[in-house]
Amino acid sequence: MEKKIALLPGDGIGKEVMDGAVEILKAIEEHYYHRFHFQYGMIGGAAIDEMNSPLPQETLQMCRESDAVLLGSVGGPKWDKNPSHLRPEKGLLALRKELDLYANLRPVETVESLLDSSPLKREYVEGVDFMIVRELTGGLYFGKPSERNVKNGEHTVVDTLFYKRDEMERIIERAFQLAQDRKKKVTSVDKANVLESSRMWREVAEEVAMKFPDVELQHMLVDHAAMALIHNPKQFDVIVTENMFGDILSDEASMLTGSLGMLPSASLSATGLHLYEPVHGSAPDIAGEDKANPVAMILSTAMMLRHSFKMEEEAEAIENAVKHVLDSGKRTADLTRKGEKPFSTSELVEEIKAAL
């Protein structure tokens, strides 16, 4: 097959892990006789520095003309004091909105050989395997007004949690579809005892559930979910929730696996053009040191092969190679224990390539 892939390394370790992903994709190209056309674009802080915009028009255009988008990570202290339209994150948020990437899939699976790196006791995390489905283009992230006001000398500020009913419906439906191919259970997370938007969310979840009689629906309050993820994570199959709750809970859940450096994600649209990125951030503290864990980025490319290109075999080959390397004790610094020598980013990529 022939595919156009837009590569947006972004900031910090985004560049390093993207290099790793490209290495792996080139190996896949060769083994499986595909042809990948890579095109690089700027986003985030790098784009602000060079083009004075966190999402230049060229980048957006290039993504639109591609079959899939791979993203590294954006952000860093360098741009922290910038005005809000010139912040790296604005580039990512604008891209999500422009491409209508409303369904963010974040699988959380613990790896047997890494259980020792988890802060949680083995019996709590062994066999954990769930998927967080996060709404990605609505809620507090995009609602208007989001502004400051002064009235009679009183300074106030407002952000807006806004949703269309249809937006809830499509993401919850997506979650049920995913659950059908898994353990047939959806946990819908909200704050229905306080928020009107959550009460609508709950209603929509019940409605959607009627169309999927083979899938069990459970409601859970977000504060309770934050506990349950720790004391009983094995109960979950598919968790579906709105944008901000999803942001918080998925980062929390990443800790079950021992490192944020392990978790891939897919951001899906209705159009067929999807984006794939690691859950981790740009980690400015270790950027440029060839230390970052490339696994999340590499597993994101596997998700791309599976979801965007229907290359199931190739995706599994990558996933198995990663598992093989980790099982044999080879790890980057985020996962090594005292006394162990960590592999560098590029060394680990080489190992994964060799294992393919």
Residue ranges in contact with ligand IPM by CB under 6 A: 75, 89, 92-93, 193-194, 223, 247
Q: Is residue 347 classed exposed, middle or buried when 0-12, 13-18 and 19+ CB atoms within 10 A define those classes?
A: middle
Q: What is the DSSP pairing of strand 264-268 with strand 103-109?
A: antiparallel
Residue position matching structure tokens 């896949």: 28
Q: Closer CB to ligand IPM, residue 41 or residue 139?
A: 139
Applying CB under 8 A, among 35, 52, 57, 119 the residue interacting with its own copies is 119
Tell me whether residue 191 is one of the annotated catalytic residues.
Answer: yes
Closest CA to 75 of 57, 88, 86: 88
Q: Is residue 227 classed exposed, middle or buried when 0-12, 13-18 and 19+ CB atoms within 10 A define those classes?
A: exposed
Classified as helix, coil or strand, 121 is coil
Tell me whether residue 251 is one of the annotated catalytic residues.
Answer: yes
Q: Give the C-alpha separation, 217 to 184, whole Å.
A: 9
Q: Tell whether the torsion through CA atoms of 122, 124, 127 and 130 is positive or negative.
A: negative
Q: How far is the CB of 73 from ligand IPM (least distance, A)?
A: 8
Does residue 231 belong to the site contacting its own copies (CB under 8 A)? yes
Q: How far is the CB of 291 from ligand IPM (least distance, A)?
A: 21
Does residue 57 belong to the site contacting its own copies (CB under 8 A)? no
Cβ neighbors of 335 (< 8 A, separation 6 or more) are 114, 117, 258, 259, 261, 293, 342
Q: Closer CB to ligand IPM, residue 215 or residue 298?
A: 298
Tell me whether residue 141 is one of the annotated catalytic residues.
Answer: yes
Does residue 350 belong to the site contacting its own copies (CB under 8 A)? no
Applying CB under 8 A, among 31, 65, 146, 313 the residue interacting with its own copies is 146
Per annotation, catalytic residue among 102, 141, 163, 276:
141
Specify the stretch interacting with its own copies by CB under 8 A; choose among 21-29, 136-144, 294-302, 306-314.
136-144
Does residue 332 belong to the site contacting its own copies (CB under 8 A)? no
Does residue 248 belong to the site contacting its own copies (CB under 8 A)? yes
Q: Is residue 351 classed exposed, middle or buried when 0-12, 13-18 and 19+ CB atoms within 10 A define those classes?
A: middle
Tell me whether residue 211 is one of the annotated catalytic residues.
Answer: no
Q: How far is the CB of 39 from ligand IPM (least distance, A)?
A: 22
Two tokens at 12?
């910090």
Catalytic annotation, residues: 141, 191, 223, 247, 251
The site for its own copies (CB under 8 A) is made up of: 75, 84, 87, 89, 93, 119-121, 124, 140-141, 143, 146-148, 154-166, 191, 193-197, 199-200, 222-224, 226-227, 229-231, 244-245, 247-252, 254-255, 260
